[in-house]
Amino acid sequence: MDEPVYKRILLKLSGEVLLGDSAFGIDTNVLKFVAEEIGNVRTLGVQIGIVIGGGNIFRGVEASARGIDRASADYMGMLATAMNSLALQNALEDRGIPTRVQSAIEMKEIAEPFIKRRAMRHLEKGRVVIFACGTGSPYFTTDTAASLRAMEIQADALLKATKVDGIYDKDPVKEKDARMFNKISYTEVLTRDLKVMDSTAVSMCRDNNLPLAVFNLEKRGNIRDVICGKPIGTIVESEK
């Protein structure tokens, strides 16, 4: 039997993963796949918090480049994460997995407000807690929201599930000779500007010694394998 190395995790999902083969919005097959993968991890008794991005619906940074005021664009992006959170909640509950959505922006008709102590209770009761609307403040990414929530819920690790296999020395989509790291330090990620997450998110993990795992979500079993300490993707740790 696989034994989890981490008992409580914060899983960061990019909104773009939900696109699947579509150009916009949510591919329900991907949603179903993600829900299955999360269900698989939950059977190990691991407590799971999730932060999901909104890039499949709206990207604040791009919109601001096109002339929408940055703060407004970021708030629109946060609303996109709320949509993804509700979609994921639905997919998880379809599989009988109890969930709660907590939002950083009050929208009490559709989600609980973010209350740290309440989130912890939900986790202890085996509920998957989905944190919507990022940090609730503009100029912060959902990666930063993921590090922040990971710290707040005292997660043992932050798992960043993406579309590539791990952290590379250059963009693996554009450069054929890109090399993936199995392990790397936070400082190296920052000094080499490796763009795996924004610098605020990486610095927060470094300053609080939070292990960060970056791996491909699209391969079945990857989330479970990472949690069980198998050498999947890239692990970012403090320099010894």
CB of 83 to ligand GTP, least distance (A): 15
Measured from the CB of residue 158, what is the shortest distance to ligand GTP in angstroms?
Answer: 24
Please say which residue, 61 or 110, places its beta carbon nearer to ligand GTP: 110
Q: Which helix (H) or strand (E) holds 10?
A: strand 8-13
Which of 214, 75, 47, 192 lies closest to 147, judged by CA? 214
Residue 130 or 212: the one with the smaller Cβ distance to ligand GTP is 130
User: Closer CB to ligand GTP, residue 108 or residue 179?
Assistant: 108
CA distances for 195 relative to 171, 172, 173, angstroms:
9, 12, 13
Query: How far apart are CB 47 and ligand GTP at their closest, in Å?
Result: 14
Residues 5 and 233: their CA atoms lie apart, in Å, by 16
Shortest Å distance, C-beta 92 to ligand GTP: 13
Q: Which is closer to ligand GTP, CB of 121 or CB of 219? A: 121
Residues 6+ apart with CB under 8 A from 87: 18, 26, 31
Kindly tell me which of 89 and 162 has the beta carbon lying closer to ligand GTP: 89
Quick one: 66 or 117, whose CB is closer to ligand GTP? 117
Least separation in angstroms between residue 6's CB and ligand GTP is 23
Look up residue 212 and give its two tokens.
């960060």
Q: Taking every pair of C-alpha atoms in the chain, what is the biggest distance, in angstroms?
A: 54
Binding site for ligand GTP (CB under 6 A): 100, 108-113, 121, 125
Sheet strand arrangement including 234-237:
112-113, 99-103, 128-132, 47-52, 8-13, 157-162, 212-216, 234-237, 183-185
* Helix, strand, coil content of the chain in percent (nearest 5): 40, 20, 45
Nearest distance, CB of residue 179 and ligand GTP, angstroms: 45
